[in-house]
Structure 1
Amino acid sequence: MGDPQPKSYHGANITVTFDGRRCLHFAECLRGLPEVFDVRARPWITPDNAESAAVAEVVERCPSGALRYALRNGAEESPPHPTVVTTVEGGPILLHGDLTVTGRGRETRMALCACGRSSRRPSCDNACRTRPDRRVDPIA
């Protein structure tokens, strides 16, 4: 699921887009709607297996923003105000709000690197879990 380009999965009333480069495997989608999100199936996302409102609600739980949605009626995710910042022990800093990231534009959810090891800073790439021996000078 680490495809280089985001992939869209179209349903009758909702389209779900998945960006594997952003996925940190929190598995909110798998726990939330296993009938829609099933990594053993192809395609692994089948938006019509649940009501579009339920799919949108689960997509909004994706802490990294790897999952996004667009409803056929044009409705999009409404980020919370104020922005919510959550730290994960030994992991990223999660942001959920109306965010503007230089060079990336508008975001609603993202995971920031907290360890300094990510090759995609400011975004987390799970380097703290997959490359624990890599050292980064925190002052640099």
Structure 2
Amino acid sequence: MEQSYKKIEKLKSEKLIEKLFAEGKSVVAYPLRLVYLKTSFDDAAIVKAGVSVSKRNFKKAVQRNRLKRLMREAYRLNKSAYFNNITEQYAFMILYTGKSDSDFKTVSKKMNTLMDAFLKKESQPKP
């Protein structure tokens, strides 16, 4: 998997997003939260991801957009290390739940922790 975040990998379907929040599971690495759902897509994407920052915690669009850029970049740089050996298709929504601003170093570190937690939770045998 290459280090890019192409249009095909972006989560845009409203129906899928609604289904994701209704039926999806989640893992947390504060201030990030990952909601995911195993699904199937018509195209070749293995993972479709979206990011979101609360308007309640960050009133100014400039702040929200900056955090979303940081989260997308951290995801883009780290996804190849985590999803090269994955066979199922997943839909992801990465939420920023913190109340204060953050820098790229922190977001990237927490993104790694989040992806580790996701892989650990999904690799556990189901009872």
TM-score, normalised by the number of residues in structure 1: 0.27
Higher helix share: 2
Structure with the greater relative contact order (CA < 8 A, sep ≥ 6): 1 or 2?
A: 2
TM-score, normalised by the number of residues in structure 2: 0.29
